[in-house]
Each structure stands twice: as C-alpha cells, then as structure tokens.
Amino acid sequence: MTAPPDDCLARNEWICGEYLSTRRDILLDAVGQHLQLTALSVLIGLALAVPLAVLARRWGWAAGPVLAVTTILYTIPSLAMFSLLLPVYGLSEALVVAGLVLYSLTLLVRNILAGLRAVPEETRQAARGMGYGPIRLLLTVELPLALPAAMAGLRIATVSAVSLATVGAIVGFGGLGNLIYSGMNTFFKAQVLTASVLCVVIAVAADLLLLGVQWLITPWTRAARA
C-alpha cells in the first residue's frame, strides 16, 4: 500500500494548479487557436452579412430568400455542418471557420437588416434633400444608425462562435475543444474543467470587448441620454 500521492495531477483532481504550470504552452496554443477560429469566422461572417443585408434592404423581394436560406443553415446541427463541409475543405481549420461563418450569418444578417429597416424614413428623406447620393446615404446615415442593432447581433454571433468552435474538435481543430475531447478520452478532469472555464472566460471577455467597441463607435447614443 503506497501513500496517496501529494500531487493533484496524480490524484486526478478537478482543480489543479500543477496542471496550469506544467501545461502552460498547450493551453496557450489552444487559446490561440480558439481566438483565431472565432475571430476569423466572425469577421468573414460580417464581411458577407453587410452586403447581404444591404441588398435585402434595397430590394424588398431579396429579403425573403436571404432570411430563409440563412435560417435553414442555422437550423442544421453544428456537428452535421462540419461534416457536410468535409468533402469541400478536408480536415482543416478552414472547415471549422466555414461552418462557423454559416452560423454567424443568420444572426448578423437578421440584426443588420432590422437596424437598417429601423432608420426613420424622415431621416433618409432629409439626407436625400441635402443632396446625399445612395452610396453616401448608406455609408454616412443608414449604416451608422443601424450600428446598435448590428452590434447586438455581432455580440450574440461572437459568443455563440466561441462556444460552437469546441465542436471543431471532431476534426482536430477545435481550439480548447481539442483539450476537452482528449481530456474526456483519458478522464483527465483538470484538463476538461480548465479548458471549459477558459471557453466561458473567452466568451465573456469577447462580449465585454464588443460592448466597449459599441460604446466608442456610437457616441451619439450617449449624447442623447445626457
């Protein structure tokens, strides 16, 4: 009979400081991959969603199909989405990013479109009366006024992307999900808990960051209240 080991790694405890210090590099790599996956997919999603929403706003008939298609994509479970894209991208980081982009599209398009639709007709007419062309109207009046609604969508999309990225572990590119997956197979409790907590921390931090960005880029909403 040996004495119980005084090492929390050997005792396989949930919370283990030893784990943090010995696996720092693995954790940092996973966090890096996680941030890269989510940032890339949300940015690409945004780059696709803005034109789609503007098109749907300009031509009313386009709104139905755009919303229907993005909603259908959102309904498909993430594991299935990653698998369906497998023949196109193979086992790669691009596969996970593509899947996450398709998810963020629904949330972003809906919110940006709602923001654009909420711009009062009087405001648009006033801008037109001041000689604004359609492009200038869009860039300097409509899009800025749609910002609060768009930012709300962006925050939800980012938080969802952080948590969905973990499922990318199925193809080996899931950031912190990889650690959760391998921790599950080896019953490594400290690794699973640490990676899960880090996921939530990243999601909350990203949300707060975007809230700060929104505060900075929409100064007029503060002036109105003061």
Partner 1 sequence: MNTLADAWDWLTDSAHWAGDDGVWHRLTQHLVLTVVCLVISCLIALPVALVLGHLGKGGALAVNISNVGRAIPTFAVLVLLLLTPIGKWGEGPTVVALVLFAVPPLLTNAYVGMREVDRDVVRASRGMGMTGRQMLWRVEVPLAMPMILNGVRIAAVQLVATATIAALAGGGGLGRIITAGFNLASTPQVVAGAILVAVFALLVEAVFEVAERLAPKRGAR
Residue 214 interacts with partner 1 (CB under 8 A): yes or no: no
Region binding partner 1 by CB under 8 A among candidate stretches 1-9, 53-61, 133-141, 154-162: 154-162
Instruction: Please state the φ and ψ torsions of residue 92, each to the nearest 5 degrees.
Output: -145, 170
Do 42 and 157 touch, CB atoms closer than 8 A?
Answer: yes
C-alpha–C-alpha distance, residues 85 and 2, integer Å: 52
Cβ of 108: how many Cβ atoms within 10 Å? 27
Region binding partner 1 by CB under 8 A among candidate stretches 16-24, 129-137, 170-178, 213-221: 170-178
If residue 16 lies in a helix (H) or strand (E), which one and from where to where?
none
Tell me which amino acid residue 2 is. T
Count of chain residues binding partner 1 (CB under 8 A):
39
3-state secondary structure (DSSP) of residue 11: coil
C-alpha–C-alpha distance, residues 203 and 182, integer Å: 22
Candidate residues 36, 92, 196, 214; the one interacting with partner 1 per rule CB under 8 A: 196
Q: Tell me whether residue 189 is exposed, middle or buried, using C-beta atoms within 10 angstroms of its C-beta: 0 to 12, 13 to 18, 19 or more.
A: middle
Residue 126 interacts with partner 1 (CB under 8 A): yes or no: no
Candidate residues 33, 70, 78, 104; the one interacting with partner 1 per rule CB under 8 A: 78
Cβ proximity to partner 1: between 56 and 167 the closer is 167
C-alpha–C-alpha distance, residues 40 and 94, integer Å: 10
Do 82 and 100 touch, CB atoms closer than 8 A?
Answer: no
Region binding partner 1 by CB under 8 A among candidate stretches 16-24, 134-142, 177-185, 208-216: 177-185
Region binding partner 1 by CB under 8 A among candidate stretches 18-26, 47-55, 82-90, 115-123: 82-90
C-alpha–C-alpha distance, residues 177 and 183, integer Å: 10
Candidate residues 15, 47, 184, 209; the one interacting with partner 1 per rule CB under 8 A: 184
Region binding partner 1 by CB under 8 A among candidate stretches 24-32, 47-55, 57-65, 168-176: 168-176
Residue 167 interacts with partner 1 (CB under 8 A): yes or no: yes
Nearest to 204 by CA among 163, 165, 171, 170: 163
Residue 164 interacts with partner 1 (CB under 8 A): yes or no: yes
> Which positions lie near partner 1, rule CB under 8 A?
72, 75-81, 83-84, 86-87, 156, 159-160, 162-164, 166-167, 169-171, 177, 180-181, 183-184, 187, 189, 192-193, 195-196, 199-200, 203-204, 207
